[in-house]
Amino acid sequence: MRTVLRRLIGLAAFLAVWEAVGRSGVVKAGVLPPPSIVLGQFFRLFGDPRFLTDAASTLLSWVITMLLATVIAVPLGILLGGVKPLRLITGPLIEFLRPLPTVALIPLAILVLGSGAQTKIALATFASAWPILFNTMYAFGEIDRQVLDTARAFRTSRLRTAYAVILPSVAPFVMTGLRLSAAVGLIVLVSTEFLTGNSVGVGQYVYFWGSSALRMDIVLAGTVFVGLVGYLVNIGLLGVQRRWLGWSAAGGAV
């Protein structure tokens, strides 16, 4: 309870400072509207059919992105974590691809995939897969080798060892990677929507009102929506992790 109170106090102080700066005239209200105006506009967004369509597109693309990133990264992470020669062979390629800025790949993605939803989903999946992949690989180093040796001693099949020993051991790390990837995926999706100009989504909605109408209240309201969705999803995933994976002290690797 004390932690929640402190967070609320910090949020209230931030909003108070923002309100004071926005109404003081130091910064033009059109450039930095106060939170009272932004929050009012935030609630009005849900009466805008275009915003609802754009929000639905972004959220659906986000769900698809996370499913693809998980389906790709978890098996690949298990494979690379369990087979050391393969990990050594692919290591240089992975370390080359991982730091690539996703937004720099937008022109190439548009050339190959076109400018539809498939482009933003592909780019977001590329960026989101890395935290899950590395957390899954890292998890193998935390598996108790005595447990694996015991499974071999009792001639436990590989399939049963995988779902009875390996998966429970890597699950907390995968969940931590999923939480990190959720934020990365949302950022890349909205950024791609903003930069491509042809994709439906919250990023394009914000771009339209910011560039053509200079309505910073709507821009910031859309930004608040994205931040709130990301926060709620992170809280939800954290709750799932604590509820179903609370038996493990492992926190995963960043």
* Rounded Cα distance, 202 and 206, in Å: 6
Length reported for the chain = 254
What's the N-to-C CA distance of the chain in angstroms?
28
pLDDT(149) > 90:
no
| Stretch 98-125: mean pLDDT | 90
Q: Which residue has the tokens 């937004």?
A: 103
pLDDT(199) > 80:
no
**Spatial CB neighbours of 52, under 8 Å, sequence gap ≥ 6:** 46
Element spanning 16, H or E: helix 2-24
* Rounded Cα distance, 106 and 153, in Å: 51
Backbone angles phi, psi at 69, to 5 degrees: -60, -40
Contact 203, 194 (CB under 8 A): yes
Binning pLDDT at 50, 70 and 90, where does residue 1 land? low
**Spatial CB neighbours of 185, under 8 Å, sequence gap ≥ 6:** 62, 65, 66, 69, 124, 125, 127, 128
Q: Residues 55-84: pLDDT tens digits?
A: 999 999 999 999 999 999 999 998 898 888
pLDDT(253) > 50:
no
* Rounded Cα distance, 232 and 5, in Å: 18
The tally of CA atoms less than 13 A away on the side-chain side of residue 25 is 0
Q: Which residue has the tokens 């590329």?
A: 126
User: By C-alpha distance, which of 32, 73, 87, 79 is closest to 223?
Assistant: 32
* Rounded Cα distance, 179 and 236, in Å: 9
At 228, the amino acid letter reads L
| Stretch 28-57: mean pLDDT | 91
How many other CB atoms are there within 10 angstroms of residue 251's CB atom?
A: 12
Binning pLDDT at 50, 70 and 90, where does residue 10 land? confident
Contact 192, 108 (CB under 8 A): no
Whole-number average pLDDT of the chain: 86
